[in-house]
Structure formats: C-alpha cells, structure tokens
Structure 1
C-alpha cells in the first residue's frame, strides 16, 4: 500500500498542481512553510496560492487528513 503526502498549489481548484511528494504530513507542511510566503498562504490575500497537503493512498486522494 503506497501512501504519500503531497504538497499542492491551488488546492481544490481548477489548475491544481502537485509541487512535492513527501513521506510524512509534517515534511509536506514544512516544505509549504518554506516555499510559500505568509501572504501566499493567507486565504484572504489576493496573492494567495492556496497551498495545502493531501494524502494519496493507492491512487486515491483526500484532503481530510
């Protein structure tokens, strides 16, 4: 059973894009915090890139983790 935590830009939107695959949830969030500014992570900002982490297990994805 393959399990990956994937950092995603524009999560849940048209144009969603994977930006990294990690072995743990913490590693995926650490990447997001390093790669994206606070403004790019702020959902109220017009410059937000909506980064998030999803869990992919056996080809199925969920953000409910």
Structure 2
C-alpha cells in the first residue's frame, strides 16, 4: 500500500469534496476509480488523476 495525498478540490465518485490529507492507496477497481482509505472505516473512490505522492516531509508534491 502506498501513501498518497489528494489534490485540492478533489471530489469522490458521488461528487463530495474529499478532505486534503494522507490516505492509503488500496488499489484501482475495474471501472478505473482509485480506492483510498484514511483508516478502517473511511474510504473513498476518487479519480486516480487527483492523487499525489507526498514528499519526504509528508507534503504533497505538485
């Protein structure tokens, strides 16, 4: 599992804004949505193009 961040203004597949934070990338489903989770209870489906890899300080790279 990779740690990723989301770009500002990222929305999930239902159209809701996603909090800018570090997430675990769980994978990509068959329809192309990335599955990201903050913990065992909070996961989101997002466009993979809206993901960023954080730098060593934990801040997302542009």
Range of TM-score over shorter length: 0.3 to 0.5
Which of the two has higher C-alpha Rg? Answer: 1
Q: RCO greater where, 1 or 2, for CA within 8 Å and sep 6 or more?
A: 1
- Please identify which structure carries the higher helix content: 1
Q: Output the TM-score relative to the length of structure 2.
A: 0.33
